Structure formats: structure tokens, C-alpha cells
Structure 1
Amino acid sequence: MTPPLRIGVIGLGAIGQSLLRAFTANPEVQVTAVCDVNAALAETTARPLAASAWTDHRQMLGAADLDLVYLAVPPRHHHAIALEVIRAGRHLLCEKPLALTLGEAQDMQRAAQAAGIVHALNLPLHGDPGIETFRRLVAGGSLGVLRRAELTLVFPQWPRGWQQNPWIGGREQGGPIREVGPHLLHVILTTLGPVARVWAHTEYPAGDAVACETAAIGTLELAGGAQVVVSCLTNVPRPEQVSLTVYGSEGTAGLVNWAVPVAAVGQAPLEAVPVEGPPGPAGARLVQALVSRVRGGPGDLVDFSMGVRIQAVLEAWEQSSQRGIWVDVEQA
């Protein structure tokens, strides 16, 4: 029998715990080591898994027999820890955004490619049947010429109730554009094409130099000239809304509630579109693809090159907001 893939998890917060369940549900995987700066959390997580518990990731990398490491720590730590994982020769799954800066993301991509390891970014919308149906609607020609797209992010509370931690509401690492944006930027980049330049305006709480944005508006200009208008608003008495709408000369296609495809021809109202493709949890898809790729087989993963492309858009957004001008997006 083929031995199970041995996994180490660094970072046991809400996101790390969520994917940990997907790892443990796969019979081809064994979580053999977990690490968190909270020793009690590491111990309680490790015990039912019969895994070793660590508070120092360097010690874990040096002592535990691992095939792949899942890095689920806050973004400011991705670069340093990822490079140590790569130097240790372990395959690597990293949380999004890939890093804190574009330079760090590029370092990680170059190191992973040079080491010849499997490297992937955790973007749960990747491979979602609803997203794939939306892509086919946009690519099928029924929309006509692309006129404009609109991305809307509305959150009644930020950080969200399940996402309370010391950094997610901070300006350096958190905020809805940096935290939620990568999911939809991935959809935009893979459906509509490269973003050439960005204009953005961001609002922050008055008198608070460290809190993340409460609102933002901006425009992503695609390489073909069409524009994606972005509107983000938090802490308003409205239900959460994450939607993407693409307007063509002949029809409209969109995503509502993150991944539900809708479409209309002409002036007809938008209606839900039957989803094509087998359903299934995003974590299960990701874990199975990782198992296959590590074993030398096929597997549909978002690698670090896409992480760099997303980071380039985020960095241009931040620079534009600071400078009040259009900023070109660095292309790979």
C-alpha cells in the first residue's frame, strides 16, 4: 500500500483549523505534526490526531518526518517561514495573500521553483463548479463585447464574527481588500485577463493609524482596456454581499453570494444558471490535488505564480490609494 502523505500544519487559527479537517478526512493523508505559538492550542489539536505538537516551526521542520507543510500563519510571517520550509525540501501549501509585499511573494515563487517542490496557494473558489460555470458564460460569446465589470464587497461587520484575531482588523496585514480581495482577483485574472493599472481610494477610521479600511472604491483597468469597478464597504446594516457582475454588449453574467452564477440576455432580469460539474467541499478538492501532485500525478492547483500576480494588483491598489494616482501593475 502507498504510505499516506505526511502533513505538518503551522498556524492553528480559524483558517488553519478549517483545512485541518479536510486533511484528516482524507484517508491518503496523515497529519503528523502541528505547530502554533499557543502551546495549549497545539497540544489540544495534536492529541486526537496522534500528532506531535510544537511551538517552534524550526524545531518541527528539523525533527518531524513531513512531505508537505501547510502554512496558515498571518501574512507578515509567510515569507520567512516559507523560505525555511522550502530550504527543508518540503512541499508547501500557503494561505493567501501569498505574502505581505510583492517582493516577498516573488522571493517565495523563485525559491519554490528553484527547489522543484510542489507549491500552492489556498484559494477555495478555485475549481468551484459555480465559478467554472461563470467562466464558461463569460467565454462563450453570448455576452458580446465586454463593456465593464463590477465587484461589490459589503460586510455588516469587519472583522467578521468567526474571524476575530489580533491582525485581521489591522492595516498592515488585514482588511477586506487584502483578505477577501485575493479570492475575487483570482477569478478576475483567470476570467477577464491581466490587470494593467489600478486607481484606488481608501477610507480609514478617523484618528486610528493602525486599523484597516472601512470603505474603498477603485478601478482595475484590464489589459484590453475594459474596467472593473470595485466598491467595498464595511460595518453597515446590510447582509454580507460578495458579487461580481460582467456587462457585455449583448448580455450580462455574474456571481452572487460568492459563487452562484447568474446570467441574462438583453434586458431580461438576471436569473440563476444551473451549475455544471460535480459539487464537493473546496478543502477536499484541494487536498486530493495536493496528494496527486506530490506523488507525481496530475492535480489542479493555484501555484505561487498566481499568488505573485494577485500580490502585484494588491500592491498597486495600496500605492494608488496612498498617492492618489493611477499605478501600473507589475507584470510577471
Structure 2
Amino acid sequence: MSTRGGTIAARSRSREMSTRTVVHPTIGPIAAMTAFLGRSSLRKPATLRAIRIGPSRLRHFILPEGTLAEMRKVRVGVVGCGWFGRAHARVYRTLAGVELVAVSDIDLQLARSVAEGYGIEAYGSAREMVERADLDAVSVVVTPQKLVEAATEVLEAGAHALVEKPVATSLSELEALRSAASKAGALVVPGFIELFNPGYRLLKRLVQEGELGDLYVVSGKRIGRSPKRQVKWEIGVSLDLGVHEAYVQLDLLNEDPESVWAFRRSVLGNEAEDVALYIMEYPSGVVGVIEANWLTPISYRAVRVSGSRGSAELDYLRQTVILDRSDRSSILRARWSEPLAEELSYFVNHVREGREP
């Protein structure tokens, strides 16, 4: 991989990614997201849905009487002790009815340093952690290239898995993960944190209640500084940042795009793109736009929804929505909460109750 450079000459030699239009049949939301942000073709439909667990797994959580007071804690672990894996561990420790039991990382010393802070066990592999610590549920928070491999180990060892974004880097990986979950009879829940952002929930409620009228355009922008970690440069800005806006659109509109126009470019001379633009057309006629880049000195995360009665723009970081109409504008503030805490509570509750997300 070539090194990053900031000279004008280096930028003039930047490699432009091919522009392509993709028309595909109805496919599952994560597969659709992977298709129009990733590298894979759309030769066959693919889905990754959470798979309902059977009654035998439910009895693992509830004592014979079955009352809430008698329900034992869900035993959880975390695979990956990077900064976001550590955030998962921190949040799990705050959740009622949850016991953080263990963490694992291929860097065993790192895992031990995190485990010592909580007085829990540390392991060097996901499979060993699940089997020896008798875990019910696990967060998989590793590099994108290792997500499916680690999640499969978790499933095969007997636990349910929350897999952080982008979940997979190709449709074939998604199919492999779905197959592993089906064989294990376990849940696989994708970890798209913005769906649990109170600001997004406020925006979604405005859309569902018809406050914006008929929708015309959903435009998401997610830009920021160049990442320092090489693993991100290996997957590109689409699967690092753009994936958030893709999943928000799929959730908000509840439909998959019929066609996708994609433009990607490597301005700084790396193998993967550092700037990307996507335009999608949905069956309802709504146009979706996603802009993502690693070339901006400030971090900006927002989505604007425009309709026949007005528009609304969500600031993800502030958890606020600016509602614009022809005669007035107003700022709506959601009741603040940590999106990661909402996400992990959602995961644990579905594991405990055996409900399909």
C-alpha cells in the first residue's frame, strides 16, 4: 500500500475509482448496504436477519418460576479491546441484569490490562472465552476484516453475537455469517449505533407522523480527518463512515434502493477510497444521497430529510433536529442518552427474551 502524501503532485496522481450503476432485486438491508458501499456484485439475493432462538435457549435465562426477580443476569463478554471494545465493556458494566464476565483480544496483554480494571477474565481467542467463561452473549468489536471470523467463533462456541459495523466487507461474508448463526440457532445483531441515537429516533418519529409530508430526498453527510489506523485505509471511507448513512436510509425508508450511482476516489494515493459519493433511487421515488470523506479537518455528521411539508436536519453529535418550514424554523432537542448504552440494552433484552430484532 502506498503511503499517504499531501503534496499537489501526489494528489494529481490520485486513483479514481470506477463509477458504476447497480440495479438489483430486493435484498436484505445489510446486504443492500454492503452492496452499494462495498466491493461485491449482486448476482443473487442475500440477507442477514437475526435468527430466533429456540425455547431450549430461553430456559437458560429463567428459573422455573419465571418471575422477573428470579431471572438471572445475562453473562456477556467482549471480543476486541481497542477503544470501542473498551467502550462496550464500560457500558455493559452499567446495565441492569447484565454481568460482564470476560474480554478477549489477539493481544493477550491488552486483554489482561482491560480485564484487570474490571476484575474479570482475559483470553486470547473468542472461542476460548465463550467456552471457558460460559457466556450468553458477546460483542464483536474487531477490525472489519476480522468481524465475520470472530463472530463465527462466538456463534459456534454457543453464544449470541452483536457484530459492530460494518458487520462484513462482502456479500459472501454475510452469507457465511448467516449460515453460522442458523446452524448455531443463535442471534446475530448488527451494531449500527446511530439507529439508537435519540436524535435519530426523534427524526424518524417526525417522518412517521407525516410532519415532513411526502419525502423527496434523504441526504447524509459524514466527513472528518484522515484516520491514523491502516486497517481503516484498507476498507475505505465507504465502509468506515458511509455505512452509517446507508443503514439510516434503509431503516428510515424501510425499502431497498432500486439503483445506485457510485463515485469513489483515492485522493491521497491509498488503495481504498478516501472520498465517496452515492446517489440511490428508491421504489417510492425518494432519492438518497451519501457523502463521505477523510479529507476534512473537522468532524461533521448530519442527515437532512426533505419533503412536501418541510425539511429536518439531524445533528448526530448534538442529538438535535432543526425543523424547517416555509414560514418558520425550530430546534428540537431529544432527551440525551448514550447511543451505545441503548444499543447494548437492545441486544441484551432480545437475547434474554428470545425475540427477533
Choose which of 249, 260, 273 in structure 2 pairs with 1:188.
249
The answer on 1:55 being equivalent to 2:124 is yes
Range 111-120 or range 22-31, more displaced: 111-120
Q: Which residue of 2 aligns with 1:125?
A: 194
- Whether 2:276 is the aligned partner of 1:216: answer yes
Q: CA RMSD in A?
A: 2.3
Name the SS of the counterpart of 2:280 in structure 1. strand
In the alignment, structure 1 residue 16 sits paired with structure 2 residue 85: yes
8 Å CA contact retained: 2:237, 2:276: no
Corresponding position of 1:165:
229
Q: Which has the higher contact order (CA 8 A, sep 6+)?
A: 2
Q: What per-residue deviation string (whole Å, max 9, x for no partner) do you get for residues 100-120 of structure 1? A: 211211221243244332321
Q: Distance in 1 between matches of 2:339 and 2:347?
A: 12
| Secondary structure of residue in 1 paired with 2:93 | helix
Q: Aligned to 2:322, which of 252, 255, 262?
A: 262
Q: Residue type of the partner of 1:214? A: D
Distance 1:28 1:214, change over 3 A: same
**Which residue pairs with 1:323 in the alignment?**
none
Runs of 4+ in 1 over 6 A off after TM superposition: none
The 5 A counterparts of 1:59-208 are 59-155=128-224, 157-159=225-227, 164-168=228-232, 170-171=233-234, 173=235, 175-192=236-253, 193-205=255-267, 207-208=269-270
Instruction: Flag the 1:150–1:290 CA change in 2: closer, same or farther, 3 A.
Output: closer
| 1:32 and 1:49 in contact (8 A); partners too | no
Distance 2:205 2:282 in 1: 19
Supply the AA of the counterpart residue of 1:236: T
Distance 1:116 1:57, change over 3 A: closer
Instruction: Tell me which amino acid in the other structure corresponds to 2:331.
Output: A
Structure 2 residue 357 is matched with structure 1 residue 296: no
**Contact residue 289 and residue 298 of structure 1 kept, 8 A:** no
Q: How far 1:97 sits from its partner (Å)?
A: 0.8
State the 1:38 CA deviation.
1.5
CA contact (8 A) 2:279 2:290 kept: yes
- 1:272 pairs, out of 331, 334, 341, with 331
Q: TM-score, normalised by structure 2?
A: 0.73
Q: TM-score, normalised by structure 1?
A: 0.78
Cα 1:191–1:233 change in 2 (3 A) is: same
**1:192-241 per-position Cα deviation (integer Å, ceiling 9, x unaligned):** 23222211111103543x3x32222220111223212222233234x321
- Give, as a single letter, the amino acid of the residue that structure 2 aligns with 1:62: E
* Pair 1:27–1:231, CA change in 2 (3 A): closer
What is the Cα deviation at residue 12 of structure 1? 0.5
Tell me, yes or no, if structure 1 residue 246 matches structure 2 residue 302. Answer: no
Give the Cα separation in 2 of the matches to 1:33 and 1:250: 51
Q: Report the CA distance between 1:143 and its aligned residue.
A: 2.5
**1:223-238 correspondence runs (5 A):** 223-237=283-297
SS class of match (2:312):
strand
> Which consecutive unaligned segments of at least 5 residues does structure 2 have?
1-69
Give distance in 1, aligned partners of 2:150 and 2:278. Answer: 32
**Mind listing any 5+ residue stretches in structure 1 that lack a counterpart?**
302-332
How many positions carry a matched residue from both structures?
286
Q: What is residue 99 of structure 2 aligned with on the other side?
A: 30
> 1:316 maps to which residue?
none
Distance 1:81 1:48, change over 3 A: same
CA distance in 1, matches of 2:346, 2:211: 32
Deviations 1:63-84 (A, max 9, x none): 2211112111111112222222
